[in-house]
Structure 1
Amino acid sequence: MSDESMDKIKLIYVSNVFGRSKKTVQQTLAFFMTIENVGYDKAVEIIWAGEDGVWQTLPVLFHSSAGENQEYWYVQAHFKRTIKRPLPGNIEFAVRYRVAGQEFWDNNHGFNYSSQADSGVQLLTDAPVLNIEFAGGFQEGQKFIPVTVAVRQSLGQGQVYIHWSTDRWKHSQKTACHFKSMFWDKTTQSNARNPNQYDIAIWKGWIRAGQCFRLEYAVSFETEHQIIWDNNHGRNYVLSHDPLKILILNLHCYQEDNQDYKLSQIARAIDDVKADIVCLQEVAEPWNDGMGDWENNSAKIINERLPEPFHIYTDWAHLGFDKYREGVAILSRFPFIKQDARYVSDSHDAYSIHSRKVVMGQFNIPLIGLVNVYSAHLSWLEDGFETQFNRLNDWAQHNHNSRIKATLLCGDFNIVAGSSGYDLVVNSNAYEDQYLEATAHGVFEKVFRVNDPYWHDYMADDYRIDYIFMNKASELKVTSGRTVFTDKDYGFVSDHCGYYMTFEPK
């Protein structure tokens, strides 16, 4: 194995365990590893052979993020003994990682790895204590979280503990694990030994987390003289429910070539990224003497092309491009608790492009609570932005109370990042730019935290006019942000890019 391969892929442990019941014997093989996230389209495989000498390929699956540019991958395979099919027994194996036209191996420097039948867990790192078999996330309705810890018996006598928190360590608890010579294997539904062929003892514990959004924990092995930790290289182990996922996009009011194809691309992206709420601007339908044409409303068409259509609320503000009713919309995976629409502009004239309307929706997000979302398309600064934003702000502030976990102003604000219009939002001291927080935290700190007088200089090359502004009183935090609908993903579908961001409780 080359040094380059070692950097790209590394086995952490292999497990080779027999489960025995009255009816049969089952062998379970498990492999856990880290890989460098070199590219999106990748394949990881275990190349292995049992005692029959026949080489086979076992695909490995993504498990969870392992930190910056690193991922955990995992696979488990079960084999039942039959008259015609013996168990694999002792195995020999290596790992192959293929990505971006390259191939990397972890094959024990050319000698392959081996694992003896029913030998238990074999650590392939020098870690003295290791959390193994951990889940990448919560299962639906799960309240008890199993924790399995491998400890090198050469450490001597001691006790394993789980240190855990559901509120980012504002409060924490400590739960003891137990060592048993036999344990019940839920996967195989049979008894399994706690083998120690590789100097490894297995400890089991359970976290009674209840209904929480996020669980964070580390494990320790404590003896009379020392405490040895596994805290996932300083990151701790984290289980979390899916974050709130929001996508914003200006649709360009039916002005695109290949418009029908692009509407399908938008629906495809919404489904691919598993968006929960979509805020759309320049939503259009034929004018039809001011009566509109709902069947050809662009937001409705996008929604109907989703595998499972969302709840939808839309309203129009003015005549666009001399032939469309132009407005804004919200699509939501969650039902609307409340919905509303109102003009924020001085003009309410349907024939004036300076007539601007905003729609809002209130949603009860599972394990998060009530969230208010506004889909807005405001005018340029010289055409009334300040008045419109102030009205929107007053409306949103009026609707924000102690029951609301977050207020999000989403859409096309027609103010360039770092401009005087953006300055107005910043100086309101009520809202913060969530894309900037997610992608340029250092700049975000200068703009929103320390009020660096030169913060405009840091945004000189930022030409966004589409934003998610979140109320500072909100109890959510942005966890990721990226640009979509570019030549790198779904292609350009509008004269705007889209922005996709995720949120979870602070």
Structure 2
Amino acid sequence: MKLLTLNTHSLIEPDYEAKRDAFVNFIAKEQPDVFALQEVNQTASAPLLGDVPAGYYPCPCNMVLLKADNHAAAVARMLEERGVHYHWSWLPAKIGYDRYDEGMAVFSRAPITQTENLLLSRSNDYSYWKTRRALGICAGDVWYYAVHMGWWKDEEEPFADQWNALEATAGAKPMAFLLGDFNSEADVRGEGYDLILCSGWQDTFRLAQQRDDGYTVVQAIDGWRDAPDASAKKRIDQIWCSKAVPVRSSRVVFRGTQEPQVSDHAGILIEL
């Protein structure tokens, strides 16, 4: 079984369409069982999407309709054109960069039987850039959550509060994976990474029999530009499991070595 996570930086990324093609080609080749995406954008002012690709499973209480340039819908359609079918769901959390409906998507080879819309932040203001949500899908008897967290030292929207909200729901499931951009550096002690560990969750990177260095960000990116170590390499994109599971491998993808760069983040691909 293969799982993948990637912060896509979609629509904003230079050469976006070419990078989207490269990503879809990789998915069509590797066919991960589940992949979770963050910064899955659509232009808020764009016209509605007329023909929704097959496999779409709406998320409860999502009042934002799919628009014509929705990144997840484009990926689903392009995969379908390549003869690769996924079930998928999309959930926007906020207005990003003053123009996008910014959210998350989860794609599953197995049918989606349930979805969850979790508010993680104190704010529930869709126009506020610090509002955070998580999208959960159930496929088989396992839950998968696409996660894009805030920062540890943010006094207004602290990571710890968002984690407590996520863990209260995801931690109650018999089996769950958290896939995403945690904005919490794995090499820094006493902050978000350690909080997740102390909550009993398992970092699949540490469980993997084979792994690389795990770093998914190697330059200054939005949200980290004011940090003292803004340009230092970081392992902030992670895949966690509620139980210890046998992990064959964990590797960084889309960082310009084996695969082209498609975002300001690289992704993580694990094989169970």
Q: TM-score by structure 1 length?
A: 0.43
**1:271-324 deviation line (CA, Å, top 9, x unaligned):** 111211110000000112995652211111112111223111011011101110
Higher Cα Rg, which structure: 1
The 1-side partners of 2:98 and 2:233 are apart by 32
* Structure 1 segment 90-489 matched on structure 2, within 5 A: 244-288=1-45, 293-306=66-79, 307=82, 308-364=84-140, 370-383=141-154, 384-398=158-172, 400-401=173-174, 406-419=175-188, 420-428=191-199, 430-438=200-208, 463-472=234-243, 476-489=245-258
Letter of the 1:434 counterpart = T
The 2-side partners of 1:385 and 1:501 are apart by 25
The 8 Å contact of residues 285 and 292 in structure 1, kept in 2 or not, is answered as no
Task: Kindly state the Cα deviation for residue 418 of structure 1 after the two structures are TM-superposed.
Answer: 2.4
The 8 Å contact of residues 286 and 292 in structure 1, kept in 2 or not, is answered as no
- Aligned to 2:194, the other structure's residue is in SS state helix
Task: Kindly state the Cα deviation for residue 440 of structure 1 after the two structures are TM-superposed.
Answer: 6.8
Task: Kindly state the Cα deviation for residue 248 of structure 1 after the two structures are TM-superposed.
Answer: 0.4
The 8 Å contact of residues 286 and 293 in structure 1, kept in 2 or not, is answered as no
The 1-side partners of 2:30 and 2:64 are apart by 35
Task: Kindly state the Cα deviation for residue 255 of structure 1 after the two structures are TM-superposed.
Answer: 1.5
The 2-side partners of 1:253 and 1:320 are apart by 11
Paired-residue identity, %: 30
Flag the 1:438–1:300 CA change in 2: closer, same or farther, 3 A: same
The 8 Å contact of residues 342 and 358 in structure 1, kept in 2 or not, is answered as yes
The 2-side partners of 1:319 and 1:349 are apart by 9
**1:193-215 deviation line (CA, Å, top 9, x unaligned):** xxxxxxxxxxxxxxxxxxxxxxx
The 1-side partners of 2:135 and 2:254 are apart by 23
- Aligned to 2:9, the other structure's residue is in SS state coil
Task: Kindly state the Cα deviation for residue 348 of structure 1 after the two structures are TM-superposed.
Answer: 0.7
- Aligned to 2:164, the other structure's residue is in SS state helix
* Structure 1 segment 53-68 matched on structure 2, within 5 A: none
- Aligned to 2:268, the other structure's residue is in SS state strand
Q: What is the RMSD computed on CA atoms of the aligned residues?
A: 2.1
The 8 Å contact of residues 339 and 359 in structure 1, kept in 2 or not, is answered as yes
Letter of the 2:240 counterpart = F
**1:161-206 deviation line (CA, Å, top 9, x unaligned):** xxxxxxxxxxxxxxxxxxxxxxxxxxxxxxxxxxxxxxxxxxxxxx
Question: 1:490 maps to what in 2?
Answer: 259
Q: Which runs of 4+ in 1 moved over 6 A?
A: none
- Aligned to 2:122, the other structure's residue is in SS state coil
Flag the 1:275–1:291 CA change in 2: closer, same or farther, 3 A: closer
The 8 Å contact of residues 314 and 329 in structure 1, kept in 2 or not, is answered as yes
The 2-side partners of 1:281 and 1:342 are apart by 15
The 8 Å contact of residues 209 and 248 in structure 2, kept in 1 or not, is answered as no
Letter of the 1:436 counterpart = R
Question: 2:221 maps to what in 1?
Answer: none
- Aligned to 1:469, the other structure's residue is in SS state strand
Task: Kindly state the Cα deviation for residue 417 of structure 1 after the two structures are TM-superposed.
Answer: 0.7
Task: Kindly state the Cα deviation for residue 330 of structure 1 after the two structures are TM-superposed.
Answer: 0.2
The 8 Å contact of residues 287 and 293 in structure 1, kept in 2 or not, is answered as no
The 2-side partners of 1:291 and 1:499 are apart by 29
Greater relative contact order (CA < 8 Å, ≥ 6 in sequence): 2
Structure 1: where are the runs of 5+ without partners?
1-243, 365-369, 444-460
The 8 Å contact of residues 417 and 462 in structure 1, kept in 2 or not, is answered as no
The 2-side partners of 1:297 and 1:391 are apart by 28
Task: Kindly state the Cα deviation for residue 439 of structure 1 after the two structures are TM-superposed.
Answer: 5.8
Letter of the 1:433 counterpart = D
The 8 Å contact of residues 411 and 466 in structure 1, kept in 2 or not, is answered as yes
The 1-side partners of 2:207 and 2:114 are apart by 28
Question: 1:181 maps to what in 2?
Answer: none
* Structure 1 segment 33-72 matched on structure 2, within 5 A: none
Q: TM-score by structure 2 length?
A: 0.79
The 1-side partners of 2:258 and 2:250 are apart by 15
Task: Kindly state the Cα deviation for residue 385 of structure 1 after the two structures are TM-superposed.
Answer: 1.0
Structure 2: where are the runs of 5+ without partners?
47-62, 214-231
More strand by share: 1
Letter of the 2:142 counterpart = V
